[in-house]
Amino acid sequence: MKRLFLTLAMLSTIFAAYSQQKKPIAKKTKKTPVTTPVSSDKLQYPKTQKIEHTDTYHGTTVADPYRWLENDTAKAVKDWVTAENKVTFSYLDKIPYRKDFQKAIEKVYNYPKYSAPFRKGEWFYFYKNDGLQNQSVLYRQQGLTGVPEMVIDPNKLSPDGTTRLSAFSLSKDGNYAGIGLSKGGSDWQEYYVMDTKTKQNLSDKLEWVKVSGMAWQGNGFYYSRYPKPEGSELAAKNENHQVWFHQVGTAQSADKLVFEDKNNLQRFHTVQTTEDEKFVILTISDRSKGLDGNAVYYMDDFKGRFEPMIQEITNNSYGVIDNDGKELIVLTNDGAPNYKIVRFNTETSAWKTIITEKSAVLTNATIAGGKLFVSYLQDVTSHVYVYDLMGNLENEIQLPGPGTASGFGGDKDDTFVFYTFTSFTYPPTIYKYDIATKKSEVFRKPEIQFNPEDYETKQVFYPSKDNTKIPMFITYKKGMKLDGNNVTLLYGYGGFNVTLNPSFSPFLIPFLDQGGVYAQANLRGGGEYGEKWHEQGMKLKKQNVFDDFISAGEYLISEKYTSKEKLAIRGGSNGGLLVGAVINQRPDLFKVAIPQVGVMDMLRFHKFTIGWNWIADYGSADNAEEFKVLYGYSPIHNIKEAAYPATLITTADHDDRVVPAHSFKYAATLQEKQKGTAPVLIRVDVNSGHGASNTQKNIETTADIYSFIFYNMNVKPVFPQ
């Protein structure tokens, strides 16, 4: 099974789940008392030490008085985090309906959730969460009607349920499985090998794995790892990404080094194998040089040497979907910003386009059952087509409606594939598509107490500052009045070619049920309209993203969905940067801000872990022109003495993607400069990472965010008893 995904890593995803319609039951409601939020002048923030530290960038001296907060292992930093958390949780504890929000989220989230199955021989594997399990459990069954048996239960791997099954990859014969585990939310993984007949782990243990897959070939697999980091494993810069081959049943010390590049330490080197295992594909990217594309090499039939398909890294991307004999089928944006599919002949090095670029964006392509399943995005909604392997169109798959379809993976001998369809009011439903009859049928519907007829979603196109039309989805309960008095949560991302697709989240239901409006803006910098859309929100054009988000807020106000006193904004990672930047530029427009795990120091982000990988999107302070732009919007460096919205900053101690120092320094600066009465708090989760490390932490964080929003808007929620 080979899949090609065009979007990579920083995205903070809204959790999707599954449901079926049930009639709502009339219940008594519980009224909560009206309370007045605690103002910032009554909060006693920890006294954060300031030091004399400056850096000079291209003749500009920049102060960094909270540099000491970057040292994540220092006792002083740990003490500061403890003191800040004490203030934050003391504040949250005073919100009378905080536990009610948590109970409401737990109730709606507590239903069985399944993944689409994937096949290996006669076995079908799938993930299931009974409801509130911290981690989903991996099962398998013989055939589609067999009795499920448990394969791996990650909930038993740590006392607090924060060890995650981050990878599971079966060998071609299905006799072995590579298993990846991540602890406490870290991006670091440990790999193990299971004998699938006995479901027992062998002695194999591989460490310091990051940005890697498991590419099986025979009784071994290729994987990528770093040398053991010096200093803090959660903050030290990651360099010298190496490709190794591991033979099942041997120690990591016996692994064979396949590829490294000591002359270019800030590159990613990842490997995949074709389904028949005759080709090994090496993909090389170097975003630290500001290049957004990749080089590709291939090794044919165990020859032991890589040949170039694309020798140099440029801004063009190439992804091998699979092979058809001696030809590789490749998805690329070379000369096609919306992507096309080509064939590369490994014997003659000839290229041939088989599916040309279209006005819609080609987002994903898979091969299963001898067919190409090609997914397009038209105004942020999915359209999926079936082609033969020479690029001849056979049919479009009829989807239930506007929304997001994903999946379609499989092997070449499959007769059917699975896919999942979802939208904001359509809980993810698994469909089985028969390749011969070209028909879909529901394979598994979710069982959640949710009636989609009670809610409404509309897509609007609003003008940004430069009059570019920006799409946005708005979801709310039917019957809502456009009187400008609705609590509204505006969410955005805007970067890294990432698309915010319409999808269902049970976490949103309690918010919507309290009369809340959820708005999701598809900002420039994302992948909604291909590479051109992405480029309009990169590097020197990053301000377009902030303008798009600010304009989204102004649109919601002008159309009477909400007002400045009822508008909250939220974003994570690159979206956390977005929130930090826009409240600096328009603190008057928003009542509440929720920046999560944000990139807040735009002059130093490339100094930590894999931050150098983001230079292709952001640029670098090492470049004079790019420094000027970065310094002009960097959240930490543009906080003035002003009245800022009520702000709840969230991060976690094991976030080794966007290190928590970003949020630490940002919180200290914002607390220092806040001249309004609204609180500025930082919530630092323990044993968690860039995303919540388990279900319980996700529920608790979401409940705290909703409580903080309603509390600071003086809105009284009403809960069923």
Establish whether 534 is a catalytic residue. Answer: no
> Are 91 and 38 contacting, i.e. CB atoms less than 8 angstroms apart?
yes
pLDDT at 10: 33
Summarised one tens digit per residue, pLDDT across range 77-116 is 999 999 999 999 999 999 999 999 999 999 999 999 999 9
Which has the closest alpha carbon to 331: 5, 71, 700?
A: 5
Q: How far is CA 327 from the centre of its chain?
A: 33
Across 570-594, average pLDDT: 98
pLDDT surpasses 60 at 23: no
Structure tokens at 288: 């630290």
d(CA 38, CA 65): 28
pLDDT at 29: 41
Catalytic residue among 136, 182, 573, 693: 573
Q: Which residues contact 625 (CB under 8 A, 6 or more apart)?
A: 540
Would you report the helix, strand and coil content of the chain in percent, each value rounded to 5?
A: 20, 35, 45
> Are 90 and 42 contacting, i.e. CB atoms less than 8 angstroms apart?
no
Query: Phi and psi for 18 in degrees, rounded to 5?
Result: -125, 150
> Are 246 and 204 contacting, i.e. CB atoms less than 8 angstroms apart?
yes
3-class secondary structure per residue, 281-300? EEEEECHHHCCCCEEEEEEE
Alpha helices (runs of H) in 260-366, residue ranges in sequence order: none
pLDDT surpasses 60 at 555: yes
pLDDT at 137: 98
d(CA 376, CA 383): 5
Summarised one tens digit per residue, pLDDT across range 63-80 is 999 999 999 999 999 999
Q: Which residues contact 384 (CB under 8 A, 6 or more apart)?
A: 373, 374, 375, 376, 396, 397, 399, 405, 408, 419
> Are 670 and 576 contacting, i.e. CB atoms less than 8 angstroms apart?
no
**pLDDT band at residue 14 using 50, 70 and 90 as cut-offs:** very low
> Are 577 and 570 contacting, i.e. CB atoms less than 8 angstroms apart?
no
pLDDT surpasses 90 at 273: yes
DSSP characters over 5-53: E---S---PPPP---B--PPPP--EEE----PPPPGGG-----------
List the beta bridge partners of residue 142.
123
pLDDT surpasses 80 at 409: yes
> Are 30 and 719 contacting, i.e. CB atoms less than 8 angstroms apart?
yes
pLDDT at 42: 82
**pLDDT band at residue 41 using 50, 70 and 90 as cut-offs:** low
**pLDDT band at residue 38 using 50, 70 and 90 as cut-offs:** low
Across 308-324, average pLDDT: 98
Summarised one tens digit per residue, pLDDT across range 169-213 is 999 999 999 999 999 999 999 999 999 999 999 999 999 999 999
Across 612-640, average pLDDT: 98
Mean pLDDT, the chain, as a whole number?
94
Q: Which residues contact 467 (CB under 8 A, 6 or more apart)?
A: none
Q: Which residues contact 142 (CB under 8 A, 6 or more apart)?
A: 122, 123, 124
**pLDDT band at residue 596 using 50, 70 and 90 as cut-offs:** very high
pLDDT surpasses 80 at 549: yes
**pLDDT band at residue 35 using 50, 70 and 90 as cut-offs:** low
Across 292-321, average pLDDT: 93
pLDDT at 721: 73
pLDDT at 659: 97
pLDDT surpasses 90 at 286: yes
Summarised one tens digit per residue, pLDDT across range 434-447 is 999 999 999 999 99
pLDDT at 304: 74
* Percentage of residues in the chain having pLDDT higher than 90: 93
* Percentage of residues in the chain having pLDDT higher than 70: 94
d(CA 234, CA 690): 12
d(CA 468, CA 548): 9
pLDDT surpasses 50 at 355: yes
> Are 185 and 655 contacting, i.e. CB atoms less than 8 angstroms apart?
yes
Question: Residue 483 burial by CB count (10 A; 0-12/13-18/19+): exposed, middle or buried?
Answer: exposed
Higher-confidence position of 145 and 39: 145
d(CA 265, CA 212): 16
Which has the closest alpha carbon to 339: 311, 304, 374, 312?
A: 374
Structure tokens at 604: 């130093």
Establish whether 241 is a catalytic residue. Answer: no
Across 152-169, average pLDDT: 97
pLDDT at 301: 73
CA angle 602, 607, 611 (to 5 degrees): 70
Summarised one tens digit per residue, pLDDT across range 238-271 is 999 999 999 999 999 999 999 999 999 999 999 9
d(CA 187, CA 657): 7
d(CA 553, CA 474): 12
**pLDDT band at residue 40 using 50, 70 and 90 as cut-offs:** low
Q: Which residues contact 463 (CB under 8 A, 6 or more apart)?
A: 469, 470, 551
> Are 221 and 267 contacting, i.e. CB atoms less than 8 angstroms apart?
no
Catalytic residue among 241, 606, 662, 690: 690
3-class secondary structure per residue, 648-692? EEEEECCCCCCCCHHHHHHHHHHHHHECCCCCEEEEEECCCCCCC
Neighbours of 139 (CB within 10 A): 20
> Are 654 and 185 contacting, i.e. CB atoms less than 8 angstroms apart?
yes
Q: Which residues contact 585 (CB under 8 A, 6 or more apart)?
A: 546, 550, 633, 638
pTM, full prediction:
0.93
d(CA 604, CA 661): 11
d(CA 311, CA 22): 56
pLDDT surpasses 70 at 7: no
Q: Which residue has the tokens 């980091």?
A: 229
Give the distance between the most distant pair of CA atoms in the chain. 76
Summarised one tens digit per residue, pLDDT across range 645-675 is 999 999 999 999 999 999 999 999 999 999 9
